[in-house]
A = this chain, B = another copy of it.
Amino acid sequence: MGIVVQKYGGSSVADTEKIRNVARRIARTFKKGNQVVAVVSAMGDTTDDLIALAKQINAKPEPREMDLLLSTGEIVSSTLLAMALHALGHDSIALSGAQAGISTDSSFSRARITGIEPRRIVKELDRGNIVIVAGFQGLTKESEIATLGRGGSDTTAVALAIGLKAQRCEIYTDVEGIYTADPRIVPEARKLDEIGYEEMLEMATSGARVMHHRSVELGQVYDMPILVASSMVDKPGTIIHGGEKMENRNKVSGIAHDMDVAKITVTGVPDRPGVAAAIFMPLAKAGVSVDTIVQNASANNITDLTFTIIRNDMPAAMEIIRSVAKEIGAKEYTSDSKLGKVSIIGTGMQNTPGYAAKMFQTLFEHNINIQLITTSEIRITCIIAEDRVKDAVKALHKAFELDKG
């Protein structure tokens, strides 16, 4: 017997019938002799609805008030889930993030968890309660409610699992696990039984939407096994862990893609210290998140600099680049909003040069032009035209024989 932390996303608790279904699943885990802590997101579109309501009143709502507002969504779903467990005859208590002992920093709308004080949860578990925790939120030192931003409930669940020394953290969602590629694009895509933290991290940052990279990072640092499985069907899912098996696999485990890529190129940039800072500091200050940065080899102390961002940040970024380009004496700047990226991810990639060659060859054979290439130890990413991303994913999935397991 041990502690199991489970997390149920917004689509799993979208209405009262689904909440009752989740309660039955939790009860099953409890009846097997586990102590259960369940973290929930807000019901269905609640968060989006609250944001829309706020924007009707104020186009730029204060982040502090916005967080206090949004935190109510998870409190509603957590109390309803506790009530559903009571209706099944189980003792259960719903806790807000603050009551659950979750401390965060004061970066409203994208706060980071700074600590877990598990006393209250442990007390409730020892009383025989199934503990339901409102995800996505915590309490700052100044007693303010802060939310954790995208993927916040996953992060809540992993952090609680670590703080409670749980056996493992189970993330229940609307997919059955981690796939070798998006099954909507590649029908032959295979569900992985297991995947390493690093590969999962690369999948998450390369566009796979199943889990946010922050929660995977957290699991990796504290070596907390994370199961990703469906909240609708009873199938084994994918376990993310750092076991030995991973390290030695030496093969491509999946294809990730992202349709939302925009590119800005600044040409004729004087190649001197401080130029990169002059470009990227104001972008960071404006909250524009830069993904890939590529600087071409310099000729005659003049270089070209290309970087990618998400499409929504394009107007803000272009406004900054317009004034910065003049300032640093760049020749010109161009942009392209209709890009995407495709990545192959796997261990031992850097030691096996054949992977990169095979990737480029495959894209070439399908007449897909590569605009940018970046690599990490376990990932190779190509930026390509958005309308060729699906073809690229399909072709690479086949070329690396991922359908064959």
Interface residues in chain A, defined as those with a beta carbon under 8 Å from any beta carbon in chain B: 16, 19-20, 50, 53-54, 56-59, 61-62, 64-66, 68-69, 71-72, 75-76, 79-80, 82-84, 86-87, 93-94, 96, 99, 143-145
Contact = CB atoms under 8 A, between A and B. Distances in A.
A99 B143 contact: yes
Contacts of A76: 50, 53, 69, 72
B84 A79 contact: no
A80 B99 contact: no
Nearest to A95: B68
Given A16-B53, A50-B76, A57-B20, A68 B96 contact: yes
A24 to B, nearest CB: 12
A83 B68 contact: no
B58 A87 contact: yes
When all copies of this chain in the complex are counted, the total is 2
A36 to B, nearest CB: 17
Nearest to A50: B76
Residue of A56, A71, A84, A94 contacting most chain B CB atoms (<10 Å) = A56
Given A72-B72, A76-B72, A143-B99, A65 B83 contact: yes
Contacts of A93: 64-65
A65 B82 contact: yes
Given A19-B57, A80-B53, A62 B86 contact: yes
A53 B43 CA distance: 12
A40 to B, nearest CB: 13
B83 A57 contact: yes
A371 to B, nearest CB: 42
Given A16-B57, A53-B16, A80 B69 contact: yes
Contact of A79 (B66, B79, B82): B66
